[in-house]
Amino acid sequence: MIRPAEPGDVGELLTLQRAAYVAEAQLYGDPFIPALVESLEQMQGFVRDGTVVKASVGDRIAGAVRARVIERTCVISRLFVAPDLRGRRIGAALVAAVEAGFEAEVYSLSVGHQSESSLRLFRRLGYRETGRERVDDHLFLVQLRKGGRDGADRYAVGP
């Protein structure tokens, strides 16, 4: 089941986010990536403002994603799935829920350049690379976009 996160979910969301992003931290050799150092208060704020969507399997939160519309662009961030539940298309279902629930002309997100599984997922879902930005010696963020509900992909560039 996919639905908006609730205030009572904050502790479980934060714990799950940290568990999910440990692999990213190891991949980049950086234990201080934002997803791992986010505070309980910060997570409470995101849940309170309605930007967190969660997927549940039974009584357990299986994953979550953030989304918010800025002008006509839906910015997607912090997609994560419980490490033991990966490979079950939970991430794809969360992105589909965002695309269905957040009306926008374009959907936009950034992924670390070494995050191959995330890049594969978003490419499979129709997202196209629009650029890369160096944010540190060890990290480039790959910018990805997809046209909105009207199917327009006028913002995408590249193959």
Whole-angstrom distance, CA of residue 156 vs CA of residue 135: 22
Q: Is the whole model's pTM more than 0.75, yes or no?
A: yes
In this structure, what DSSP letter does residue 59 have?
T
Output the pLDDT for position 52. Answer: 96
Q: Is 109 helix (H, G, I), strand (E, B) or coil?
A: strand
* 52 occurs within a structural domain: yes
Q: How many domains is the chain partitioned into structurally?
A: 1
Q: Are 111 and 145 in contact (CB under 8 A)?
A: no
In this structure, what DSSP letter does residue 154 have?
T
* 113 occurs within a structural domain: no
Which CATH number goes with the domain that contains 50?
3.40.630.30
Task: Tell me the pLDDT tens digit for each residue of 29-68.
Answer: 888 888 999 999 999 999 999 889 999 999 999 999 999 9
Domain residue limits at 80: 2-105
What's the average pLDDT block by block, 10 residues per block, for the chain (159 residues)?
96 96 89 91 94 95 96 96 95 96 94 92 96 87 83 37
